[in-house]
């Protein structure tokens, strides 16, 4: 029996709009959704007509976190084999998204709970609606934020904020999430898609190889010593030069120094 479609996808002007699509369940992530997300990422990752991926939610939710019935209760009923399988499926697509070949933007329109912080962190940038509501509700039903979520808040937030969200399970709205730097910015809901499109278009003007190496570098260097990071960044730029068949770095210098057609301080060179 084929699974219901619980992820929606639309590609337009090199932006892939991927959405959690179980609005009647507040986009809680069940095993079917986790499997479909992996397939969708697989399909989109190396397509030439996709330059940026946006992850949004259908209806009034971004994601109500893991599905307490289908992801926890029903897989636990299958024993450890079922539990580990469903963990592999969810952690698998979160990881795939963290290292996605194209830049990614979380567009948080509404509820974002618990396990939803996994894909939130996996996206490179995050823009939310002022009306969005974020919370680590795990403590409210008697567990600690697992599945990487405690690591997410510790990496993204100062310790007091991470501890506050973790221990109280209290909600914060989009403006608070932005002030806390859980997201890049918060805008009124009716501006959310337009603002996300603007940011996606800004990224589409940049050299795509440089974007991939730069986003990976930001995630990787945090745990390195200074010397390791310095060395890693030299090697990564050399690898980027190899992968960039347009020789963008030289072209960027040429358009500035010889052609004088743009200024790197003020915008990107013509791809
Ligand atoms: N898991 C399973 N089902 C869910 C989830 C979830 N995380 N969230 C919502 N649903 C279901 C509800 O059971 C309900 O199903 P039904 O229509 O068959 O009864 C349906 O979605 C609608 O939910 P309501 O609670 O009726 O919607 P409402 O708009 O009143 O409230 C809210 C929305 C606040 C998101 C509420 O549903 C809720 O608290 N959900 C749980 C949030 C949560 O704690 N998630 C787990 C985080 S921890 C983790 O992910 C590991």
DSSP states of 205-258: TS-HHHHHHHHHHHHHHTTS-HHHHHHHHHHHHHHHHHH-TT-HHHHHHHHHHT
Sequence-distant (6+) residues with CB within 8 A of 221 are 229, 232, 233
Query: Ligand 1: distance of its center to the CA of 68 in Å?
Result: 8
Residue nearest atom 48 of ligand 1, based on CA coordinates = 114
Residue nearest atom 1 of ligand 1, based on CA coordinates = 67
Residue nearest atom 46 of ligand 1, based on CA coordinates = 65
Per-residue model confidence (pLDDT) at position 66: 98
Mutate to test the pocket of ligand 1, among 6, 21, 24, 26 (most ligand atoms within 8 A of CB): 26
Residue 66 alpha carbon, nearest atom of ligand 1: 50
Residue 116 alpha carbon, nearest atom of ligand 1: 50
Burial (0-12, 13-18, 19+ Cβ within 10 Å), 262: middle
Q: Which protein residues touch ligand 1 with a CB less than 6 Å away?
A: 25-26, 28, 64-69, 111, 113-115, 137-138
| ipTM, 2 dp | 0.99
Are the C-beta atoms of residues 203 and 52 closer than 8 Å to each other?
yes
Residue whose entry in the numeric block shows the structure tokens 């009306």 = 131
Please report which helix (H) or strand (E) contains residue 139, including its range. Answer: none
pLDDT by position in tens, the chain (length 271): 577 999 999 999 999 999 999 999 999 999 999 999 999 999 999 999 999 999 999 999 999 999 999 999 999 999 999 999 999 999 999 999 999 999 999 999 999 999 999 999 999 999 999 999 999 999 999 999 999 999 999 999 999 999 999 999 999 999 999 999 999 999 999 999 999 999 999 999 999 999 999 999 999 999 999 999 999 999 999 999 999 999 999 999 999 999 999 999 999 999 9
- For the chain, the 3-state helix, strand and coil shares in percent, each to the nearest 5, are 50, 15, 30
Residue 61 alpha carbon, nearest atom of ligand 1: 35
Query: Ligand 1: distance of its center to the CA of 205 in Å?
Result: 39
Q: What is the largest CA-CA distance in the chain?
A: 68
């Amino acid at each position: 029996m084929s699974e219901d479609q619980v992820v929606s996808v639309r590609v337009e002007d090199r932006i892939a709009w991927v959405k959690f699509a179980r609005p009647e369940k507040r986009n809680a992530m069940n095993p079917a959704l986790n499997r479909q997300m992996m397939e969708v990422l697989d399909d989109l990752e190396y397509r030439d007509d996709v330059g940026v991926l946006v992850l949004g939610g259908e209806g009034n939710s971004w994601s109500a976190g893991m599905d307490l019935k289908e992801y926890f209760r029903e897989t636990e009923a299958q024993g450890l084999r079922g539990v580990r399988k469903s963990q592999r499926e969810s952690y698998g697509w979160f990881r795939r998204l963290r290292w996605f070949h194209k830049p990614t933007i979380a567009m948080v329109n509404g509820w974002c709970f618990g396990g939803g912080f996994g894909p939130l962190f996996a996206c490179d940038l995050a823009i939310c609606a002022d009306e969005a509501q974020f919370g680590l509700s795990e403590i409210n039903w008697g567990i600690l934020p697992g599945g990487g979520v405690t690591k997410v808040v510790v990496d993204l937030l100062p310790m007091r904020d991470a501890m506050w969200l973790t221990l109280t399970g209290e909600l914060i709205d989009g403006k608070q999430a932005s002030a806390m730097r859980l997201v890049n910015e918060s805008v009124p809901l009716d501006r959310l898609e337009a603002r996300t499109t603007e940011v996606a278009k800004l990224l589409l003007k940049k050299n795509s190889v440089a974007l991939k190496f730069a986003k990976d570098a930001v995630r990787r260097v945090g745990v390195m010593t200074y010397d390791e990071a310095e060395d890693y960044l030299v090697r990564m730029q050399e690898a980027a030069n190899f992968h960039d068949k347009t020789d963008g770095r030289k072209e960027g210098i040429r358009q500035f120094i010889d052609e004088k057609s743009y200024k790197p301080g003020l915008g990107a060179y013509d791809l």
